[in-house]
Chain A
Amino acid sequence: MKSIEFDPRTKLLIVACLSSLAVLVTDWFGLLRLLIVSIGFGCLFGVPFQKWIKRISRVLVFFLGLIVIQSLFVRDGNPILAIQGFALVTDTGLQRSLGYLFRVLIIFMSGMILATSSMRDLLQALHQLKLPYEIGLMVAIGVKFLPIFMQEVQDAFLAMQLRGIDIHRLPVAKRIQIFSYLFIPLVGSTINKAERLSETIESRGFQIGIKRTQFRKLQLRSVDWICMGLAPLLIWMVQG
Chain B
Amino acid sequence: MAYFEACQLSFGYKKNLVLQEVNFSLHQSQAVALLGENGVGKTTLSKLMIGLNQPRSGSILWKGRPVEEVPTHEIGRSVGYLFQNPSCQIFCATIKEELLFAARFRGNQSAEEEKKADRMIRRFSLEEARDVPTFQLSQGEKQRLALATILMNEPEFLILDEPTFGLDQERKDELAFYLKKIHQSGIGMMIISHDIKFVDSLCSRKLTVKNRRVYEVD
Is A197 in contact with chain B by the CB < 8 A criterion? Answer: no
Is A199 in contact with chain B by the CB < 8 A criterion? Answer: no
Is B28 in contact with chain A by the CB < 8 A criterion? Answer: no
Contacts of B105 in A (CB 8 A): 163, 165, 170, 174, 178
Contacts of B9 in A (CB 8 A): none
A: number of interface residues (CB 8 Å) = 25
Q: Is A159 a contact of B73 with CB atoms below 8 Å? A: no
- Distance in Å from the Cβ of A188 to the closest Cβ of chain B? 4
Question: Which stretch (A87-95, A137-145, A179-187, A217-225) binds chain B?
Answer: A179-187
Give residues 73-132 of B contacting A (CB, 8 Å): 73-77, 79-81, 83, 85, 87-93, 101-102, 105-106
**Chain B residue with Cβ nearest A158:** B52
Is A132 in contact with chain B by the CB < 8 A criterion? Answer: no
How many B residues touch the partner, as a band?
A: 20 to 34
Is A119 in contact with chain B by the CB < 8 A criterion? Answer: no
Is A167 in contact with chain B by the CB < 8 A criterion? Answer: yes
- Distance in Å from the Cβ of B120 to the closest Cβ of chain A? 14
Bound complex: CA of A148 vs CA of B110, how far in Å?
37
Give residues 127-177 of A contacting B (CB, 8 Å): 152, 155-156, 158-167, 170, 174
0/1 interface trace, chain A 178-213, chain B, CB 8 Å (1 if under): 100110110111011000000000000000000000
The one of B76, B83, B92 in contact with A161, judged by C-beta atoms closer than 8 angstroms, is B76
Q: Is A163 a contact of B88 with CB atoms below 8 Å? A: no
Q: Is A161 a contact of B91 with CB atoms below 8 Å? A: no
Q: Is B102 a contact of A181 with CB atoms below 8 Å? A: no
Contacts of A178 in B (CB 8 A): 105
Q: Taking A158-B72, A161-B76 as contacts, is the C-beta distance between A185 and B106 under 8 angstroms?
A: no
The SS class assigned to the A binding surface is: helix
When A and B form their complex, what is the total count of cross-chain residue pairs whose Cβ atoms lie within 8 Å?
A: 78
Q: Is B102 a contact of A164 with CB atoms below 8 Å? A: yes
The one of B77, B83, B90, B102 in contact with A184, judged by C-beta atoms closer than 8 angstroms, is B90
- Distance in Å from the Cβ of A193 to the closest Cβ of chain B? 11
Give residues 125-151 of B contacting A (CB, 8 Å): 134-135, 149
Q: Is B73 a contact of A165 with CB atoms below 8 Å? A: yes
21 A-B pairs whose Cβ atoms sit less than 8 Å apart in the complex? A155-B83, A158-B52, A158-B72, A159-B88, A159-B91, A162-B50, A162-B73, A162-B76, A162-B79, A162-B89, A164-B77, A165-B105, A166-B71, A174-B105, A181-B91, A181-B101, A184-B135, A185-B87, A188-B87, A188-B134, A189-B87
Apart from A184-B91, A185-B87, what 12 extra A-B contacts exist at CB < 8 Å? A155-B89, A159-B81, A159-B83, A162-B89, A163-B102, A164-B102, A164-B153, A181-B101, A184-B135, A185-B89, A185-B90, A189-B88
Question: Top 8 nearest A-B pairs by Cβ distance?
Answer: A162-B76, A159-B89, A164-B77, A188-B135, A163-B102, A181-B91, A161-B72, A166-B73
